[in-house]
Chain A
Amino acid sequence: MLDTHYTFSALDGSASFREFPSVNVQLPNRASRVQAPVALSLTPQPVLALDDVTLSFGGLTALAEISLSVNPGEIRAIIGPNGAGKSSLINIISGLYRPDTGFITLGGQVFRQVPASRAARLGLARTFQNLALFKGLTVLENVMAGLAFTRRSTFIGQAFGLPRARREDRDARERAHSILSFLKLEAHADRLAGSLPYGLQKRVEMARALVANPEILLLDEPMAGMTVTEKQEMAGFIRSVRDDYGTTIILIEHDIGVVMGLSDRIAVLDYGRKIADGTPAEVRADQAVIDAYLGVARHDDFEEGI
């Protein structure tokens, strides 16, 4: 669906994603977090695994005994009908929900509940389905906020402009700017995030997640409310993040075309259960998936058959 020509055309800005390493930011050492280099591993050790995770709200079982593994550098899609539990799954991975049973393995550590306040330090970043931007901050400040967890300076240092605070600020600003230009948001850098149209807000969220150079990126419907062109562009960004940085990506998306074209493996949820898990081709052919989610209907069917 996406040709390489396009992917690169998205990157030929002045400050491209490629230039990241030159910026001296004190991020947790990336190398130490990555379990195994993407290219070398034959039987890759998963960077993230869920074991028998169950989650219920009152009487409702949102997730039932879900096990899921995600390999490093993989684009892992999760699809399923509305209310299937996709967002809940991401909320569990990011520590916002605590599963009733089961545990989560992340970077070699096993958790009953991932500590949300340490998630960023664990290499997790995410976007939210219903936008969770800081509306009162500008786009640039939103993106800089994504580096909050790296800050060591105190408010006193910041108020009096002590060297460390100044350095941190400068680094964060540079990094944020390079991300903004990568996502073609430079023009909006100084606008209040809340006043942007919906589609751009989604992109700002993506920038905020990316700025920390996360090991695992969780995207909850990053392309909802975009035109096809915009979706293509976004897909290009996602792919190049993975290609250039080996970032592992977990993606929830309803646009099947995008999902099929972009992901390496797809898990399908329905009513909180995992009904399929495999390559796009496998999933597309799975009858259970077709029944529960894909359906057979194609275009041109509005007039007839109703």
Chain B
Amino acid sequence: MSEGFDYLFFLEVLTGGLLSGVMYSLVAIGFVLIYKTSGVLNFAQGAMLLFAALTFVSLVERGVPFWLALVVTFAIMVLIGLMVERTVLRPLVNKPPITLFMATLGLSYVIEGSAQLLWGTQVHALDLGIEDIPFEFHGIFISQFDLFAAGSAALMVLLLTLFFRYTRVGLSFRAVADDQFAALAVGLRLPRIWATVWAAAGLVALVAGLLWGARSGVQFSLSLVVLKALPVLVLGGFDSIAGAIIGGLIIGASEKLAEVYIGDYVGGGIEGWFAYVLALVFLLIRPSGLFGQKLVERV
């Protein structure tokens, strides 16, 4: 990098970063949904993603048509949501968040195990019919696939925002996350709310799982993409869908730029933690993320 600054390259890295960021956001949104209604980080989101992708790809490989497979998988995700509500959330109502968090960890074992038990441990290729081949745009290579992913993310955010804005469900979600005991007393149907939101999270997991699966193959490590989503959540705020998007873009872009421009000085491979440190620095300025709801406390 001795010659002058290569703007085109910078732009390319930036674009690539932003588009990767969208992929992170896709995963992060699933977390946000659950956090909004239970105040809990759902660690099983990664497992759900894996489950959805694996189910879909296995169905397709067994000759089920694309759209039918999509519908069936979604139906199964809804079923999982219902079961989780019944067997995990309902008995753990009004328990401290950390207990629920641990339960979601246990849940991730169950889901991962079932996924592999059902569909085997093989890796699969997933072809969504969208080429991941770049086209050139003013000297920058952009992949169709990334654009498609960005489009899906945008659509999902739009849907969820409308859902929260124009139904009263949003209010009950927030109430439940705030004080479960009071929510019970007020007569909110926690089971129904949770089942809904887990089904929605299942849908998000399906979309994210398909996109990530198409990129990296459908295999166990798909459940590791959650690690990419966590700093996004911290940065954007656990309970903000907009935050998940903005956070994803910021993390994606700065992580790539850091790897390319700073990585050399410390020997590279800093992407693994850079996002976390960035999020941390950010948090010190805004303790509940960019768009997260502030903790309300008074004496």
Instruction: Specify which chain A residues have a CB less than 8 angstroms from the CB of B299 in the assembled complex.
Output: 87, 91, 96, 128-130, 132
Instruction: Specify which chain B residues have a CB less than 8 angstroms from the CB of A87 in the assembled complex.
Output: 299
Convert A237-280 into 0s and 1s, putting 1 for each residue whose CB lies closer than 8 angstroms to a CB of B: 00000000000000000000000000000000000000000000
- Chain A residue, CB-CB nearest to B299: A128
Instruction: Specify which chain B residues have a CB less than 8 angstroms from the CB of A132 in the assembled complex.
Output: 299
CA distance A129 to B298 in the complex (A): 10
Within 8 A of B (CB), among A59-112: 87, 91, 96
How many chain B residues touch the partner (CB < 8 A)? 1
CA distance A164 to B299 in the complex (A): 35
The total of Cβ contacts below 8 Å across the A-B interface reads: 7
CA distance A96 to B299 in the complex (A): 9
CA distance A128 to B299 in the complex (A): 7
- Chain B residue, CB-CB nearest to A91: B299
CA distance A91 to B299 in the complex (A): 8
Convert B283-299 into 0s and 1s, putting 1 for each residue whose CB lies closer than 8 angstroms to a CB of A: 00000000000000001
CA distance A130 to B296 in the complex (A): 14
Convert A115-136 into 0s and 1s, putting 1 for each residue whose CB lies closer than 8 angstroms to a CB of B: 0000000000000111010000
CA distance A212 to B299 in the complex (A): 21
CA distance A205 to B299 in the complex (A): 14
- Chain B residue, CB-CB nearest to A87: B299
Instruction: Specify which chain B residues have a CB less than 8 angstroms from the CB of A96 in the assembled complex.
Output: 299
Expressed in whole angstroms, the minimum distance between the Cβ of B182 and any Cβ of chain A is 15
Expressed in whole angstroms, the minimum distance between the Cβ of B268 and any Cβ of chain A is 41
CA distance A132 to B299 in the complex (A): 8
Expressed in whole angstroms, the minimum distance between the Cβ of B126 and any Cβ of chain A is 49
- Chain B residue, CB-CB nearest to A128: B299
CA distance A87 to B299 in the complex (A): 8
Expressed in whole angstroms, the minimum distance between the Cβ of B284 and any Cβ of chain A is 21
- Chain B residue, CB-CB nearest to A129: B299
- Chain B residue, CB-CB nearest to A132: B299
CA distance A132 to B298 in the complex (A): 11
Expressed in whole angstroms, the minimum distance between the Cβ of B295 and any Cβ of chain A is 16
CA distance A116 to B299 in the complex (A): 13
CA distance A272 to B244 in the complex (A): 41
Instruction: Specify which chain B residues have a CB less than 8 angstroms from the CB of A128 in the assembled complex.
Output: 299
CA distance A74 to B299 in the complex (A): 25
CA distance A301 to B299 in the complex (A): 35
Expressed in whole angstroms, the minimum distance between the Cβ of A209 and any Cβ of chain B is 14
Expressed in whole angstroms, the minimum distance between the Cβ of B163 and any Cβ of chain A is 30
Expressed in whole angstroms, the minimum distance between the Cβ of B125 and any Cβ of chain A is 53
Expressed in whole angstroms, the minimum distance between the Cβ of B95 and any Cβ of chain A is 15
Expressed in whole angstroms, the minimum distance between the Cβ of B166 and any Cβ of chain A is 28
CA distance A91 to B297 in the complex (A): 13
Within 8 A of B (CB), among A143-162: none
Expressed in whole angstroms, the minimum distance between the Cβ of B178 and any Cβ of chain A is 16
Instruction: Specify which chain B residues have a CB less than 8 angstroms from the CB of A91 in the assembled complex.
Output: 299
CA distance A262 to B111 in the complex (A): 64
Expressed in whole angstroms, the minimum distance between the Cβ of B251 and any Cβ of chain A is 32
Expressed in whole angstroms, the minimum distance between the Cβ of A60 and any Cβ of chain B is 13
CA distance A31 to B254 in the complex (A): 61
Expressed in whole angstroms, the minimum distance between the Cβ of B298 and any Cβ of chain A is 8
CA distance A87 to B298 in the complex (A): 10
Q: What are the nearest 5 A-B pairs in CB distance?
A: A128-B299, A96-B299, A132-B299, A91-B299, A130-B299
Please, could you name 7 A-B residue pairs with CB atoms under 8 Å apart, sorted by A? A87-B299, A91-B299, A96-B299, A128-B299, A129-B299, A130-B299, A132-B299
